[in-house]
Amino acid sequence: MKSIRLICFTLLFLFSATGFNSTVYAQEHVDIEAYRDDAEKIINAAMKDNQKFEYLTQFADRFGHRFSGSESLENSIDWIVNEMKKDGFDRVFTQDVKVPYWVRGEESATLMSPRKKNLPMLGLGGSVATPEEGIEAEVLVVSSFEDLKEKADQAEGKIVLYDVPFTTYGQTVQYRLRGAVEAAKVGAVASLIRSVGPYSMQTPHTGTSRYEDGVKKIPHAAITLEDAAMIHRMSDRGETIRILLEMDAKTLPNATSRNIIAEMKGSENPEEIVVFGGHIDSWDVGQGVMDDAGGCFAAWEALRIMKELGLRPKRTIRVVMWTNEENGLRGGNAYRDMVMGNGSLENHILAMESDGGVFEPKGFGFSGSDEAFAMIKEIGKLLEPIGSNNITRGGGGADIGPIMREGVPGMGLVVDGSRYFWYHHTAADTIDKLSAEEYNKCIATMAVMAYVAADAEKTLPR
Amino acid sequence: MKSIRLICFTLLFLFSATGFNSTVYAQEHVDIEAYRDDAEKIINAAMKDNQKFEYLTQFADRFGHRFSGSESLENSIDWIVNEMKKDGFDRVFTQDVKVPYWVRGEESATLMSPRKKNLPMLGLGGSVATPEEGIEAEVLVVSSFEDLKEKADQAEGKIVLYDVPFTTYGQTVQYRLRGAVEAAKVGAVASLIRSVGPYSMQTPHTGTSRYEDGVKKIPHAAITLEDAAMIHRMSDRGETIRILLEMDAKTLPNATSRNIIAEMKGSENPEEIVVFGGHIDSWDVGQGVMDDAGGCFAAWEALRIMKELGLRPKRTIRVVMWTNEENGLRGGNAYRDMVMGNGSLENHILAMESDGGVFEPKGFGFSGSDEAFAMIKEIGKLLEPIGSNNITRGGGGADIGPIMREGVPGMGLVVDGSRYFWYHHTAADTIDKLSAEEYNKCIATMAVMAYVAADAEKTLPR
């Protein structure tokens, strides 16, 4: 996920929150007592065994990572669509989406001086290649963009290394996003960052980065926390650091990917839609199961449970697996364009996303009107049995961001995120980092919320 | 460290312990009240700042890993000897030791089927190479040696993968040590193990392995916990697994390394010796600072503190940095041969080793007579201020093992080992995993124990 977007939403909506005297409204419009039995059935169905986790595991093992443009992503989409058709949902379809197609290629970084050492690394998404012989240059270590400004006159012809320890994702990711541009502006020939994460076992993290028109595109990569800190210490001791960076990355013409959409039609107001899901693409390392096959599959399993239990809500429920969240957000934008184009945006009454890893769920962060918030809080009470009943202000998700900006109330599943950034965009984002019990709770949480919001007497107000 | 040796010692001495009615003896022979001031001074000197940790950090950054046979190991030994001479100890000398010289070379493992994936790996110490084109073969996954026996008729021509989750080091390391031999016996062409550790971020662990006369030598390597578990799952699903293993390892003729010995002569009984230290060699990954530059330097700093404080005990104190603990134990054996050869073994009254990482120290595990144990427990009370006063039965160290087996009482520094095997023999054994405060406490603990044991009224009895 791109948490920076979440943070923007959080700030936006925190400052626009206006008061909470709407509990009466909520109670009038969602009679949660009427849903206690259904909620219990859903929770029991979600929690009953490890089969759903085994299913996710098989998917992760079978396809591995699913990067935009890759065969693996499209094969995994084919497989999911086929399985969803077997599920017998009312409607399963895909939406073509043009996505960027960046290919990492061979790459390496080697500390050449003061001593030779291989530096585990990952090129950052969108980076240009080095010349074939690589770039070997002296390294200028900086602690921040301000520090770079102060040392600007030393940067010419050097590789800039941003050694910036993790604080929050929103802050630290700036060096991944803007590092190459700022380094190029002062004459650097390449830029490296300390990987964006709070903990490392020589673990490089990839992720997207940006260039700017009119600023030279220089290669941009991440090394590990350990090595960035070591090189920084060496530099502080007055040693001359030289690194050889070799990257073979290239950007190919846009590829075609797809959003996946599965629906259960509403029994009374089928034109009104509750949409929820995650993103099916991942970075090109690990299994991309925490980020975010887990979120996609949790939504899918939630819909399956409703179908199995014969719970058809008044309004339509739509599971969407968006494509290309990681390096383009083209799936989320294309979905917005589609629902704006066919006039159904106004009928999207709620959007939910799970993109923080399917760890122990805590509840939801909601962005919308006070009345809607009160109603969601009321529904949240049904989640007390599994402890995911904490509904707070502010939240959303990258993929639902485009429709939220058009006025759709939105919310993000909130989970125990204590290790999320250990694995985020690394080879260690693998199924073993998740657990069946926590995953099942996420499924139950999404299912209860989606079902009751879609079935409540009154439509969730904007 | 090789914890298996520790375990053997623990068992050996637990079963030979005979009772504890010797407190009176201890109190008669170590008047700890007389040492309270000195102990406080030592602790204060050890804890006063971060400079000792910074010194260790500089060493780790400067030399990196120090594998037997490598230039880096010998360069680091030269540097230490030179620094020790500047310290002005009574005597600083080295002992030549012939050590095995194994070189990893280029290596890789690739899952070829059911889907292609690079498998992060480390060849295991002593392994033979594959043919130049590598070995590509079907994989037989087993859960134990017993499981291999049951599946013996399926092993011919295959790569055996031992997917054995970590229980204790002593148990799990058997697959690293004996895996190649047992696999070769049933006709396998290579063997792989799940890395020996309880936690992983796609982190392979290396370590030593063995061949057996008369059994074909086959290549032997470790893959990560994540990948071993995944391949096991794939196999359980009936999928055919194929791996391409490429290893360029070779064993060169023995090289010459050195044990480093620094002494402070005893003021009254200089012929009696308290010896303590760690091993200066490491595996050929990471910085080898947890395992075991930290233990070596903690002992060294302990001796420096005594010298700075003018604390010269009655008996001689000797710091030893043994070489080649990791893949041969030649340093520990050579030291034993030297002290047996020159008749000083009988005068070694105590041997101490730190090889569990210089994490938060808890105390010592002691192996020796009841009388000696009581005396060590008494001295341990001086460590109450820093919480490292827990003296227990059973313990030692790989490098002091050879002299302990000849009758020298021995003990190992016991620390919080909760993350030791996360980093053990991996690229993540780097200085950032340690802390100045915990390191200083280890120094204080070693210094107080060594000083008082060397200065006590009566000699520690065998």
Q: Are B226 and A64 inside 8 Å of each other by CB?
A: no
- From the candidate CATH numbers 3.50.30.30, 1.10.3210.10, 3.40.50.300, 3.40.50.150, the one assigned to the domain spanning B106-248: 3.50.30.30
* B325 part of the active site: yes
Task: Please list the helix, strand and coil fractions of chain A in percent, rounded to the nearest 5, in that order.
Answer: 40, 25, 35
Average pLDDT over residues B434-461: 97
CA B352/CA B278 separation, integer angstroms: 9
In CATH, what is the architecture of A105-248? 3-Layer(bba) Sandwich (3.50)
Structure tokens at A212: 């700017």
Please report which confidence band the pLDDT of residue B23 belongs to, taking 50, 70 and 90 as the band edges. Answer: low
Residue B207 burial class via C-beta count within 10 angstroms: exposed 0-12, middle 13-18, buried 19 and up: buried
Dihedrals phi, psi of A63, to nearest 5 degrees: -105, -20
| Torsion sign (Cα): A138, A142, A145, A148 | negative
Average pLDDT over residues A376-387: 98
Q: Are B427 and A202 inside 8 Å of each other by CB?
A: yes
Structure tokens at B428: 């993540």
CA A69/CA A165 separation, integer angstroms: 32
Q: Are B237 and A120 inside 8 Å of each other by CB?
A: no
Name the pairing type of β-strands A390-393 and A361-367: parallel
CA B145/CA B160 separation, integer angstroms: 11
Q: Which of A367, A387, B329 has its CA nearest to residue A376? A: A367
Catalytic residue among B107, B246, B272, B325: B325
CA A357/CA A429 separation, integer angstroms: 10
Helix ranges, B237-344 (H): 294-308, 330-341
Name the pairing type of β-strands A269-279 and A315-322: parallel
CA B408/CA B119 separation, integer angstroms: 45
> Quick check: B221 and B107 in contact, CB under 8 A?
yes
Q: Which of A415, A412, A417 has its CA nearest to residue A365? A: A412
**Cβ-based neighbour number of residue B11 at 10 Å:** 12
Q: Are B58 and A237 inside 8 Å of each other by CB?
A: yes
pLDDT at A14: 45
CA A260/CA A320 separation, integer angstroms: 6
CA A402/CA A406 separation, integer angstroms: 7
Catalytic residue among A301, A325, A326, A360: A325
Is a pLDDT exceeding 60 seen at residue A15?
no
pLDDT at A4: 52
CA A185/CA A276 separation, integer angstroms: 41
| Interface with chain A: mutation pick from B226, B422, B426, highest number of A CBs within 10 Å | B226
Average pLDDT over residues A453-460: 96
In the DSSP assignment, the letter for residue B125 is: B
pLDDT at A273: 98
Which residues make beta-bridge pairs with A136?
Answer: A244
Average pLDDT over residues A229-243: 98
Please report which confidence band the pLDDT of residue A3 belongs to, taking 50, 70 and 90 as the band edges. Answer: low
> Quick check: B397 and B336 in contact, CB under 8 A?
no
Domain assignments of chain A as residue spans, ordered by start? 3-102+253-455, 105-248
Q: Which of A134, A434, A453, A447 has its CA nearest to residue A273? A: A453
Q: Which of A126, A459, A432, A68 has its CA nearest to residue A283? A: A68
pLDDT at A12: 47
pLDDT at B180: 98
pLDDT at A20: 47
Chain A residue numbers with beta carbons less than 8 Å from the beta carbon of B203 are: 201-202
Structure tokens at A238: 């007055």
Q: Which of A387, A399, A386 has its CA nearest to residue A292? A: A399
- For residue A241, the distance in angstroms to the closest alpha carbon of chain B comes to 12
| Interface with chain B: mutation pick from A194, A227, A283, A430, highest number of B CBs within 10 Å | A430
CATH fold of B3-102+253-455 reads Aminopeptidase (3.40.630)
CA A131/CA A219 separation, integer angstroms: 10
In the DSSP assignment, the letter for residue B461 is: P
> Quick check: B163 and B194 in contact, CB under 8 A?
yes
Answer whether B58 touches A (CB < 8 Å).
yes
Instruction: State pLDDT tens for residues A71-119.
Output: 999 999 999 999 999 999 999 999 999 999 999 999 999 999 999 999 9
Instruction: State pLDDT tens for residues B321-363.
Output: 999 999 999 999 999 999 999 999 999 999 999 999 999 999 9
Give the count of Cβ contacts less than 8 A between chain A and B.
67
**Cβ-based neighbour number of residue A138 at 10 Å:** 15
Structure tokens at A21: 């005297």
Residue A385 burial class via C-beta count within 10 angstroms: exposed 0-12, middle 13-18, buried 19 and up: middle
User: How many alpha carbons lie under 13 Å from residue A391 in its C-beta half-sphere?
Assistant: 24
Instruction: State pLDDT tens for residues B32-63.
Output: 999 999 999 999 999 999 999 999 999 999 99
Q: How much of chain A, in percent, has pLDDT values that exceed 90?
A: 93
In the DSSP assignment, the letter for residue B126 is: T
> Quick check: A280 and A354 in contact, CB under 8 A?
no
CA A432/CA B442 separation, integer angstroms: 35
Q: Which of B330, B288, B309, B331 has its CA nearest to residue B443? A: B309
Q: Are B230 and A61 inside 8 Å of each other by CB?
A: yes
Between A29 and A226, whose confidence is greater?
A226
Instruction: State pLDDT tens for residues A70-82.
Output: 999 999 999 999 9
Dihedrals phi, psi of B37, to nearest 5 degrees: -65, -45
Dihedrals phi, psi of A2, to nearest 5 degrees: -105, 95
- For residue A450, the distance in angstroms to the closest alpha carbon of chain B comes to 33
CA A370/CA A393 separation, integer angstroms: 9
Is a pLDDT exceeding 50 seen at residue B12?
no
Is a pLDDT exceeding 90 seen at residue A162?
yes
Q: Mind giving me the DSSP string for B129-175? A: PPPTT-EEEEEEEESSHHHHHHTGGG-TTSEEEE----S-HHHHTHH
Structure tokens at A166: 């993790």
Chain A window 194-233: which residues touch B at a Cβ cutoff of 8 Å?
200-203, 225-226, 229-230, 233
CA A164/CA A187 separation, integer angstroms: 20
In the DSSP assignment, the letter for residue A290 is: I
Of A201, A233, A426, the CB nearest to B428: A201
Question: What mean pLDDT value characterizes chain A?
Answer: 95
Q: Which of B58, B76, B59 has its CA nearest to residue B67? A: B76
CA B278/CA A335 separation, integer angstroms: 62
pLDDT at B30: 86
Q: How much of chain B, in percent, has pLDDT values that exceed 70?
A: 94
Chain B window 108-167: which residues touch A at a Cβ cutoff of 8 Å?
114-115, 117, 120
Name the pairing type of β-strands A250-264 and A91-103: antiparallel
Question: For residue B298, which amino acid is it?
Answer: A
Please report which confidence band the pLDDT of residue B16 belongs to, taking 50, 70 and 90 as the band edges. Answer: very low
Chain B residue numbers with beta carbons less than 8 Å from the beta carbon of A120 are: 427
pLDDT at A201: 98
In the DSSP assignment, the letter for residue B187 is: T
Residue A268 burial class via C-beta count within 10 angstroms: exposed 0-12, middle 13-18, buried 19 and up: exposed
Closest residue, chain B, to A54 (C-alpha): B233
> Quick check: B331 and B355 in contact, CB under 8 A?
no
Q: Print the SS3 string covering B245-264.
A: EEECCEEEEEEEEEEEEEEE
Answer whether A432 touches B (CB < 8 Å).
yes
Answer whether A288 touches B (CB < 8 Å).
no
Closest residue, chain A, to B236 (C-alpha): A58
